[in-house]
Amino acid sequence: MSTVEYRQGFALDPVDVARVFNASGITRPTSDLPRIARMFAAPSLVISAWQEGRLIGVSRSLTDYSYCCYLSDLAVDKAFQGKGIGSELIRRTQAVIGEEVSLILLSAPGAMSYYPAVGFQLADNAFVIKRKR
């Protein structure tokens, strides 16, 4: 297997992002490419994982770089899961935001067991107003 390359702030093609989302198993509006493009047009921090020129993983975060960082997307193509790519995307996110910033996320139901394994603690003090679509 060839080396995985990580890129920060690299412009991503919405078609590639939708493919990784679909291949990762998480649910995102991948049939709405303009919406995917908007999702990645102005986030605070994007780190991507590439192998042989192909996007295989992505993390997208919104942060103030001083107090909190919301990890809104973490997706790795299922063909590449279990190889530490998601953990490395999280590690690189933490390295950028630093130790003064809390890393927060809302987990997909199928990933609830993953996040404690990579250092997240379950929070019982969160609230959400869910999107309508």
Quick one: pLDDT band at residue 9, thresholds 50, 70, 90?
confident
Average pLDDT value over all residues in the chain: 91
What residue numbers bound the domain in which 22 lies? 5-117
Q: What is the pLDDT of residues 48-85, one digit of tens each?
A: 999 999 999 999 999 888 888 999 999 999 999 999 99
**CATH number for position 92:** 3.40.630.30
Nearest to 77 by CA among 18, 23, 16: 23
Number of domain units in the chain: 1
Q: Is 68 within a domain?
A: yes
Query: What is the pLDDT at residue 4?
Result: 94
Q: Is 127 within a domain?
A: no
Nearest to 48 by CA among 82, 21, 79: 21
Q: Is 44 within a domain?
A: yes
pTM: 0.81
Q: Is 132 within a domain?
A: no
**What percent of the chain clears pLDDT 90, i.e. is strictly above it?**
67
